[in-house]
Amino acid sequence: MTPLAHYLLVAALLFSIGLAGALTRRNAILVLIGIELMLNAANLNLIAFWRYGPHPEALTGMMFAIFSIAVAAAEAAVGLGLVIQIHRHAHTTDLDAMNRMKG
Amino acid sequence: MSIAFYLIAALTLAGGLAAVLLKNTVHCALALTVAFAGLALLFLELDAQFAGFAQILVYIGAVAILVVFAILLTRGSETPKDGVYSRNWLAGLFIAAAVFAVLGWAVLQSAGGLPQGAVAAPTVTVLQIGNALVSRYVLPLEIVALLLTAAMIGAVIVAMHEKERQK
Amino acid sequence: MTGTMDQIFVLLQHWLTGFLPAAWQGPARVVLSVAVIVGLFPALFALTTVFERKGLGRIQNRIGPNRTGWLGILQPVADGIKSLTKEDIVPLSADGAVHFLAPVVLVVAVFMGFAVLPMGRKMVLVEMDAGLLFFFAMGASTELSVFMAGWSSRNKYSLLGAMRAVAQMISYEVPLLMSSVAVVMITGSLSLTRIVEAQDQYTWGFPHWYIFTPWGFAGFVMYAIAATAETNRSPFDLPEGESELVAGYHTEYSGFKFALFFLGEYLAMFSISGLGTTLFLGGWSAPFSWLGWIPSWIWFFSKLMLSIFVFIWLRGTLPRLRQDQLMNFAWKFVLPMTLLNLMVAALWRFLGEGWERWVICSAILVLAYVAMGRAGMHREHFGPRRYRYAE
């Protein structure tokens, strides 16, 4: 059995990789990919704490993770719809080029 | 015993790194799928079978396909002329490294007090999950149902073609 | 005697692994079962290719292959030799790694689905509490490989075929799951062995298969429609129709990779038929209690081959559906019917035993089917034709 700290370190590393991706890439879709990685890292944390916690039969961690998966899917759908609409309007998904509020 | 954990964790981190570093956007999406699969395997390693299979079904079966379709519909497969990294990439990298440093320090500080392993495996049946969903967690369930409906309608409306105004 | 025949494969497995030291027996049993599955279903696939070509030929008033061996039975051997020795052409601008991995991902994901099917009494590879969820998770992974194949070929026809196929597969995924949820609700478990055991009971000689209940029959019909669409079989085979899109997402594949796609498609057909038999047709249980002396695995495979025969029959008989007709059908007809079916199944459970529940449930389903069918038909506007020109 691996110690809990290893799972938490893997989750922290995945979270920071996702954050780096969200902050450094130009394409709007890659920012969303980074956000999905961050959400997944948080889910891993939740499940790891649920498993090693004192009362796993209360199912709190697992429930939280399942709801988080559902909400992340909804957010990805709306976010990608927005990106598609922006592309239709500005003909680019480059975030550096979309630096003005005026259309 | 725990060699499986290190292999799966390496696979997940490699997938995550590839997802943010590769130049071709579709390759990034496929590497993201590998990261999702690695995470599902980690959930299975943690005796959370329902969460693991739900992860595969929702993330790989739906979110990855969403991302790939969005890339195709926005011509993301053509390489941009200004490079793939934004102008302020160094600041972003620095912030991510700082976040990892803080999180890692917090974990390592408390590593002594955390369980070292060999905790009894919980026997979680789907029946218990179902019972919990309709008794203790019924309010989040209903709210998530409402949220998913709103998100579905919202995504359709946001991405719809606007009606032509020339007349 | 009948008990031994029924369990003959399990006994064989225990006898063979009995020769190994005790610590290795568990993994050896699993490896042996996996080897049998990996050997048996491709052999069934070979048999099905001949069966299909002969069957389609007879439906179309011609004889199928009859040159290779008696009645063309050695045709798959000839096909296998051909595809193994054909030159493997990869387009110059194709994305090498993704192009190579797409058929691999397809075949791996499809083989995983066989792990939870109960093929006989006590003959399931992995006894999982959430077996049905695992099966659908593996089915969802096949969609990604279809997209990978289409995109990596850098070919407009392939990309179009892949996008159509993926759109079709995700549209019909929801009715597939919802029709299975009715079965799960009545049984009270996601485990496939429990579902088959719940159907293994007999009243006056008649089995308790779910297809013999109103909601089960409607559910089976919708499951069959969704399964035909999931595996891209005719009448839903627009993504790979030869007259439409060359060969759709596997245009640029030749030789063994094409054979792998073919294998993947037929294996997906087998596994989805296997799931359909498990959920609705009673899995390995016999139709009448006095036929119980025939081994359970014979019943399972007979029902499986019957489903395959129905697939082939549909392919030879019905015309292809257009993409928009297909999507309309999924979202506007099959999905509402599956939701209604869920409610009818709940009503069935709570009305208690008796003839009333048969009448009420059947009446609701028939009325809904007729109403939705007629509402769908009125959408067609057969007015004067409007012309749209390309700008």
Indicate the average pLDDT of chain A.
90
Grade residue A1 by pLDDT with cuts at 50, 70 and 90.
Answer: low
How do the domains of chain A map onto residue ranges?
A: 4-90
pLDDT of residue C20: 84
pLDDT of residue B167: 45
Indicate the average pLDDT of chain C.
87
- Mean pLDDT is lowest, of B76-85, C99-108, C145-154, C339-348, for B76-85
How do the domains of chain B map onto residue ranges?
A: 1-78, 124-167
Of A43, A47, A78, the CB nearest to B158: A78
Taking the C-alpha atoms of residue A11 and residue A37, their distance in angstroms, rounded to an integer, is 10
Q: Which residues contact C88 (CB under 8 A, 6 or more apart)?
A: C254, C255, C256, C257
Backbone phi, psi, residue A71, to 5° = -65, -40
Q: Is B65 on the interface with C (CB under 8 A)?
A: yes
pLDDT in tens, C37-71: 999 999 999 999 999 999 999 999 998 888 888 88
With the CA atoms of B154, B159, B161 and B163 taken in that order, what torsion angle do they form, in degrees rounded to the nearest 10? Answer: 30
Q: Are strands C206-207 and C202-203 parallel, antiparallel or unpaired?
A: antiparallel
- Identify the top-confidence range among B6-15, C56-65, C112-121, C207-216: B6-15
Backbone phi, psi, residue C379, to 5° = -75, -25
Q: Report the chain C residue with the minimal C-alpha distance to residue B73.
A: C163
Structure tokens that stand for C62 in this block: 């011609």
pLDDT in tens, B112-152: 777 776 677 777 888 889 999 999 999 999 999 999 999 99
pLDDT of residue C220: 95
Q: Is C170 on the interface with B (CB under 8 A)?
A: yes
pLDDT in tens, C277-308: 999 998 888 888 888 888 889 999 999 999 99
Taking the C-alpha atoms of residue C266 and residue C175, their distance in angstroms, rounded to an integer, is 21
Grade residue B79 by pLDDT with cuts at 50, 70 and 90.
Answer: low
Between positions 2 and 31 of A, the ones with CB within 8 A of B are 2-10, 12-27, 29-30
Indicate the average pLDDT of chain B.
88
For residues C100 and C256, the answer to whether their CB atoms sit within 8 Å is: no
Q: Which single residue is written with the structure tokens 């700290």?
A: A5
pLDDT of residue C1: 61
Between positions 74 and 113 of B, the ones with CB within 8 A of C are 77
Q: Is A83 on the interface with B (CB under 8 A)?
A: yes
pLDDT of residue C241: 66
Q: Is omega for the bond preceding C235 within 30 degrees of 0, making it cis?
A: yes
Please compute the mean of the pLDDT values over residues A41-54 and round it to a whole number: 91
pLDDT of residue B165: 53
Among left, alpha and beta (phi > 0; psi -120 to 50; other), residue C255 is left
pLDDT in tens, C268-278: 999 999 999 99
Of C274, A69, C111, the closest CA to residue B60 belongs to A69
Q: Which residues contact C333 (CB under 8 A, 6 or more apart)?
A: C372, C373, C376
Of C36, C30, C38, the closest CA to residue C267 belongs to C38
More confident residue, A41 or C357: A41
Pick the CATH number of B1-78 from 1.10.10.10, 1.10.645.10, 2.40.50.100, 1.20.120.1200: 1.20.120.1200
* Residues of chain B contacting A43 with CB distance shorter than 8 Å: 39, 51, 55
Residue type for position A42: A
Structure tokens that stand for C148 in this block: 């990978």
Query: Is the CB of C189 less than 8 angstroms away from the CB of B64?
Result: no
* Residues of chain C contacting B149 with CB distance shorter than 8 Å: none
- Identify the top-confidence range among A48-52, A88-92, C4-8, C199-203: A48-52
Taking the C-alpha atoms of residue C66 and residue C173, their distance in angstroms, rounded to an integer, is 38
Grade residue C243 by pLDDT with cuts at 50, 70 and 90.
Answer: low
Interface A:B, Cβ pairs < 8 A: 250
Of C95, C139, C144, the CB nearest to B65: C144
Chain A contact partners (≥3 CB pairs within 8 A): B
Residue B74, pLDDT > 90, answer: no
Q: Report the chain B residue with the minimal C-alpha distance to residue A24.
A: B89
- Count Cβ atoms below 10 Å from residue C4 Cβ, excluding itself: 9
Residue C323, pLDDT > 50, answer: yes
CATH tag, A4-90: 1.10.287.3510
* Residues of chain A contacting B122 with CB distance shorter than 8 Å: 51, 56-57
Q: Which single residue is written with the structure tokens 């997940």?
A: B12
pLDDT in tens, C173-221: 999 999 999 999 999 889 999 999 999 888 877 888 999 899 999 999 9
